Structure 1
Amino acid sequence: MTHPTPTSRLSGLHKNSIAERLARVVDFAGLDEDTAQHLADMGNLDPHLADHLIENVIATMNVPVGVATNMKVDGRDVLIPMATEESSVVAAVCNAARQCYGSGGFVTSTSGSLMIAQVQLVDTPDPAHARIRILERKAEIQALCDACDPLLVELGGGFRDLEVRIVDTAGGPMVITHLIVDTRDAMGANAVNTMAETIAPHLEGWTGGRVYLRILSNLADRRLARARATWTCEAIGGADVRDGIVSAYRFAAADPYRAATHNKGIMNGVSAVVLATGNDTRAVEAGAHAYAARQGWYSSLTTWEVTADGDLAGSIELPLAVGLIGGATRLHPTARACLKILGVDSAEALARVIAAVGLAQNFSALKALATTGIQKGHMSLHAQNIAMMAGAQGNEIAQVAAALVAQGTVRVDIAKQELARLRG
């Protein structure tokens, strides 16, 4: 007897309760009872809240939240909550911060809290004249935009400037209008998207073109965060280590294949804080990588140099569109708790801390690469994960992990052998 092929057309799934949805998914995928019970455990997130954050909720994904220590940012000691599943990320920030704590820690700055909304006009008969006609309407556009969000204006934000670009494409020239908006302590996507929607029909009337896209840009290059710090040669192990870090940076600055991994390491730290605070990791990552290619080629987000005193100086600059209000930042209880741990009172302060974390993460990665190699630094923490995969529990985890590190071979099959030996 043949069984019917399961169909993914689960009609009305969104109308079901969480338990009903899960039961239907369990049936579709043939999940066992233990797996079903695991998914049904929503942890410390209220199922009602989870059901309203995204669609078709059946479970939650718990990511460990660790705390990085030793961080001093603009003279203030701060603990950094980081949500990540990757071993050694939190430890890397702790170690980097400890090694520059005595020389003042991290100094940060920002360019402000400006976001860009884009409105795309196509089939405009006279693009150059259309551009000028739009610019002539700046005051009218400002009034339309500010009327979309009076509370934002009351808080000191709102429309700030207007740009109009002519972009040559395979389909002909497009007239692209940029609304520059100060979104203050919000990430700002909803605010600027509403403004773009509002002015779209006016742009068509003024130019004779047709509007298609009306949406923010995640290349938030008007919302940059910067951090710098100095590590003394004595603190990091000498001039050879310093020179190795500078050489590794120069490799990343010149070669996009290296720069991709170099910047991924930076984002290990950045994204961990962004996620812990309920902000949009995908938006921040997209903006950072686009910014790394702003000169026409993909390069490093950081710069490493030797100071006049012979010490190591690092700096970072990247777009950080993060907020303290709206979305999961306000709704998710863990995100709210992480913001309390950070003790930040503005989106700008949060961005400053995140930039410092990115620089710290990069320092540790480059130091490991320039000295012992990245694998040795990862090995002890990775060995614990492998030990657990082999079935080790409790005190067995540390013992099996130590045996793997001692052998210099961190593999599941070897971990199983060590575990069997340990259990006699």
Structure 2
Amino acid sequence: MKTSRIPGFYKKSVSERREVLKDLHSFTEEEAAALYAEAPLTGATADNMIENVIGTHPLPLGLGLNFQINGKDYIIPMAIEEASVVASASHIAKIVRNAGGFTAESTDRVMIGQIQVVGAPDLQKAKSTLLEARDQLIQGANDAYPSIVARGGGAEDLEVRILNESSESKYGQMLVLHLYINTCDAMGANIINTMVESIAPVVEDLTKGKVYLRILSNYADKSLASARCVIPPELLETGSYSGEEVRDGVVHAYEFAAMDPYRAVTHNKGIMNGIDPVVIATGNDWRAVEAGAHAYAARDGHYGSMTKWYADEEGNLVGELELPMSVGIVGGATRIHPMAKLSLGMMHIESARELAQVIVSVGLAQNLGALKALVTDGIQKGHMALHSRSVAIAAGASGEMIDVIAEQLIEEKEIRVGKAKELVEQHKK
């Protein structure tokens, strides 16, 4: 039976970790080749993905362990260069696992395409006309992309908004049509753009205005994913800190982020520390996910915390995270990049909705990992200990010397390149 609980995984070598993974996952020959290749993305493939290619730029790919979401175990690939993120998320996932795991939900994969109309002589009449032509416009959009309709998706509804109707500037007044499109398991950018472009001439004719922009919106607030965990305080006990102290510290830290944008930005960056690596590993558009997440954090007119933490009536710590999640499992880099295909296969992801649930669960775990560290020993203790290896390498250490220098840096509590260079020179003599 597959499990995400692999004790001592971090102590093993890279080759040993790969062997453990092979025992848990039945890799195809193609997947195994990608896993063992030092540069799985070839220059030829990269050249067909973007312009002016000169090479590739890999990131470390680690595994988030211990995750149990909706009763299913996940070993979660995370592509990231920052130390302590994978370890922190895995640590919290173990705690949550002992509390029953994460529960997660996601809505249908409904994305938004926008059509901007300016210069309509009567904005209210233009709005009414478009709403009356709803069925015609939806049918026209679906005719432009029949393959998504055949898969059970396609344009489903529309909405019309008037922006700045009272503005005296001719550039400020406009009408915007939102086309709601179920993109199934695709992120859907090409689907959406094709559909809105196809009906733009009809919109222009109906409104007697001029269409300028016709493009998707990355604010996917109709495609939401949420995760939740409930943790008894005794599972939060850390060193000299009682579980109740840790719980209360986390709630106070959340309240700080909820009220203060200066804190919220850093708080939310920590959440995205968990989310982005999974989005990147699976070949999805992390910029789109980032933009949508931060917009959602300000949906009430105030930028605050993406997560919510509170104590319930039984004294448990409860964490919740809900975000727009514009990710897919087909098309784009998910189909081309060998490591994206490997990452999705490793998690046995069956739908874009399931992937969204996994991603927000990792984001919630990473947030708690950061808050728990902040309210106990401080963020630097664990982070800098893990960072010491990178410092040793930057100072010129190699092979077995890396661990020796890293340990000395930790012992002397001077984790900086200058000190590491001194130690490297001493070891070379």
- 1:188 corresponds to which residue? 188
TM-score by length of 1: 0.89
Asked if 1:141 is matched to 2:137, the reply is yes
Q: How many residues align?
A: 384
Aligned runs of 1:48-197 on 2, under 5 Å? 48-168=44-164, 171-197=171-197
- 1:204 corresponds to which residue? 204
Asked if 1:410 is matched to 2:415, the reply is yes
Shift of 1:91: 0.5
Shift of 1:42: 8.7
- 2:321 corresponds to which residue? 316
Q: Is the 8 A contact 1:100 1:232 kept in 2?
A: no
Q: 1:242 aligns with which of 219, 243, 247?
A: 247
Residue type of the alignment partner of 2:124:
A
Residue type of the alignment partner of 1:377:
G
Structure 2, unpaired ranges of 5+: 1-36, 238-242
Aligned runs of 1:378-397 on 2, under 5 Å? 378-397=383-402
Asked if 1:287 is matched to 2:273, the reply is no
Partner SS state of residue 226, structure 2: strand
Distance verdict in 2 for CA 1:262–1:118, change over 3 Å: same
Residues 51-80 of structure 1: CA deviation (Å, up to 9, x unaligned): 100001001001111001100010011100
Shift of 1:421: 2.4
Residues 336-369 of structure 1: CA deviation (Å, up to 9, x unaligned): 0000111111000100000100000001011111
State the percentage of identical aligned residues: 50
Q: Is the 8 A contact 1:329 1:335 kept in 2?
A: yes
Shift of 1:197: 0.4
Partner SS state of residue 48, structure 2: helix
Distance verdict in 2 for CA 1:42–1:69, change over 3 Å: closer
- 1:221 corresponds to which residue? 221
Question: How big is the alpha-carbon RMSD for the aligned residues of Structure 1 and Structure 2?
Answer: 1.2
Q: Is the 8 A contact 1:87 1:382 kept in 2?
A: yes
Find the aligned partners of 2:68 and 2:270 in 1 and give their Cα distance.
Answer: 21
Where has structure 1 moved over 6 Å in runs of 4 or more? Answer: none
Distance verdict in 2 for CA 1:42–1:93, change over 3 Å: closer
Residue type of the alignment partner of 2:423:
E
Find the aligned partners of 1:293 and 1:315 in 2 and give their Cα distance.
Answer: 17
Partner SS state of residue 324, structure 1: coil
- 2:427 corresponds to which residue? 422
Asked if 1:372 is matched to 2:377, the reply is yes
Find the aligned partners of 1:102 and 1:371 in 2 and give their Cα distance.
Answer: 21
Find the aligned partners of 1:42 and 1:306 in 2 and give their Cα distance.
Answer: 46
Q: Is the 8 A contact 1:83 1:276 kept in 2?
A: yes
Q: Is the 8 A contact 2:107 2:353 kept in 1?
A: no
TM-score by length of 2: 0.88
Residues 73-105 of structure 1: CA deviation (Å, up to 9, x unaligned): 100111000001111111011001011111111
Partner SS state of residue 90, structure 2: helix
Shift of 1:321: 0.5
